[in-house]
Chain A
Amino acid sequence: MARAADSGAPPGRQWRQSTVLLYLRSLLALAIIWSLIALWVGNHVILPQPTSVAYELFRLIASGEMLVHAAVSLWRLALSYALAALIGIPLGLLMGLWPWASDLLDPVVEILRPISGIAWIPLALFIFGIGNELPIFIITYVALFPFLLNTMAGVRATDRTLVRAARTMGVDQRTIVRHVMIPSALPQILTGARIAGGAAWMSLVAAELIGAPSGLGFAIEWYRQLLMTPKVIAVIVVISLLGYLTDRGLRWLQQRLTPWSTGIGANP
């Protein structure tokens, strides 16, 4: 039953290799332009050469310092992301399934949603101080809404005929929720998970810049104060790489869990 989900494209290694090549080519072009601009700027603190960034990146990794920062950040991220999913998905189901729940919660969600996670940082500093709690609170807050809203919309968008079909086979409401509405909402829930992943990374760095004594965001701020720009950029490179890998992982999960959704557009 494990089936490849890539639609039409030649599957497997060949495809992956050419993608890697495409990425490397673009990155090389970026590095060259960056290098030229750095030459023109001529100030190591404002814009160092990519080679010195690469060197610092290597040293940070070799000394183990990068690993420590990355591990702390990833741990906070994973915890908050899981919290957001655990709160957001059930709430989204509740609001999608029962009008009274959405009548109750919708105004609250609508009022909170436009407030950026960053806007809460000063207040969170009062409440939590500097430590783990602040970034965890901010990331959870930010990742919660994509989970919640996508789950709710997905459940609401369940095709009525499918529910009717299930009912003519005599199944009960629980089965309909479990085996019709949730699977039907799953592609949208997973889209929400990817949006939440992106938002979580962005808010992680923002929260750690100000409110944490460790982590990648903290490292950026620390080396900025020491005017060690190559190290600042080296940390940024790692953040970008980890963020990208997170999204690849979620995309892989999406294709694993909903192999059928790629062809949905072809349905009448």
Chain B
Amino acid sequence: MSQPVPSGPKLRLDGVRKTFTVPRSGATVVAVETADLTIEAGEFLTIVGPSGCGKSTILNMLAGLELPTEGTVAMDGRTITGPAAERGMVFQDYALFPWKTVFENVEFGLRYGPHGKGLSTAERRRRVARCVELVGLGGSEQKYPHELSGGMRQRCGIARLVANEPDVLLMDEPFAALDAQTRIILQEELLRIWGETGNRAERRTVVFITHAIDEAVFLSDRVVVMSAHPGRIIEVLDVGLPRPRTDATRTRPEFQALSQAIWNLIRDEVYRAATAAGSAGGARD
């Protein structure tokens, strides 16, 4: 149901396959099996799937941190060959700099990277302060990451991403460590930052990974469902719920029907993956 934005696909995966060689045994692990996907500019896309199905691997390839073994990953029609400030990322394990305070962490990209060029120190500080405020970390600016709770670290990672104002926001389970209430607040915050209420053409592009199906449905324009062993895309679903999304969205019958449909897909996959792992005698991470 989502209308393609006139400017054409923002991101494109073309016959992408990614394998890893396990260092000691030399065995080959297929992380992602031939994936084709186009992501429109301004789209909010979520990837769900069982653990180990290659979600993070796809995100890393979009970031340019990993290169596909086969196929191409492109942004605005240009093949991605490495990371860049236009594609910012929130990492599953936060990846905050332990020697920098919350403020300095959020400031990092603007201070040392290309997106802060031309900003005066005062402007930069103001923007950083705004982002810290936005994720509810006001008052903790001078704390070091080790002094923060898991949820606060995650929010700091989100503030760091938003402060750098990337074109594409890649988010790897950014809300996983949050309590339910904060999570709901930040979901709505994220949609606001993304530009849900504003002009379609001004929205950034978001690729979001989550384990929570209701979160995927609540946030996205489309949900990509993946299966494990080997990791592949099995279904891409249009959400089609009206925006802006509110608390009322969660109680709509379409919301629940779609959540149920996704769960059915994943549940089958979880069972299948569990049996496969069991017969291979391997414990999964």
Contact = CB atoms under 8 A, between A and B. Distances in A.
Contact of B114 (A170, A260, A266, A267): A170
A183 B105 CA distance: 13
Interface in B81-133: 82-89, 91, 93-101, 108-109, 112-115
B144 A169 contact: no
B108 A166 contact: yes
A168 B63 contact: yes
Given A169-B88, A169-B108, A175-B112, A261 B65 contact: no
A257 to B, nearest CB: 9
A180 B97 contact: yes
Interface in A227-268: 258-261, 263-264, 266-268
B147 interface: yes
Contact of B101 (A1, A263, A267): A1
Nearest to B115: A170
Given A161-B91, A168-B65, A169-B164, A184 B99 contact: yes
Among A170, A258, A261, A266, the most chain B Cβ lie within 10 Å of the Cβ of A170
A263 to B, nearest CB: 3
Among A169, A175, A263, the most chain B Cβ lie within 10 Å of the Cβ of A169
Nearest to A161: B95
B54 interface: no
Among A186, A259, A263, the most chain B Cβ lie within 10 Å of the Cβ of A263
Contact of B109 (A161, A164, A169, A268): A169
A158 to B, nearest CB: 11
A59 B83 CA distance: 69
B93 A162 contact: no
Nearest to B164: A169
Contacts of B91: 161, 164-165
Interface residues of A, number: 28
A165 B95 contact: yes
A267 B146 contact: yes
A56 to B, nearest CB: 48
B146 A167 contact: no
A159 B93 CA distance: 11
Nearest to A184: B99
Interface string A149-182: 0000000000101101111111100010001100
Nearest to B108: A169
A179 B105 CA distance: 11
Contacts of A168: 63-65, 83-85, 87-89, 170
A264 B95 contact: no
Given A263-B144, A263-B147, A267-B146, A167 B83 contact: yes
Interface in A70-91: none
Contacts of B83: 164, 167-168, 170
Nearest to B92: A161
A264 B145 CA distance: 9
A170 B84 contact: yes
B2 interface: no
Nearest to B177: A268
Contacts of B65: 164, 167-168
Interface of A: 1, 3, 159, 161-162, 164-171, 175, 179-180, 183-184, 186, 258-261, 263-264, 266-268
Given A159-B95, A170-B86, A179-B112, 8 more contacts: A166-B108, A169-B164, A170-B85, A175-B113, A259-B144, A260-B144, A260-B145, A266-B146
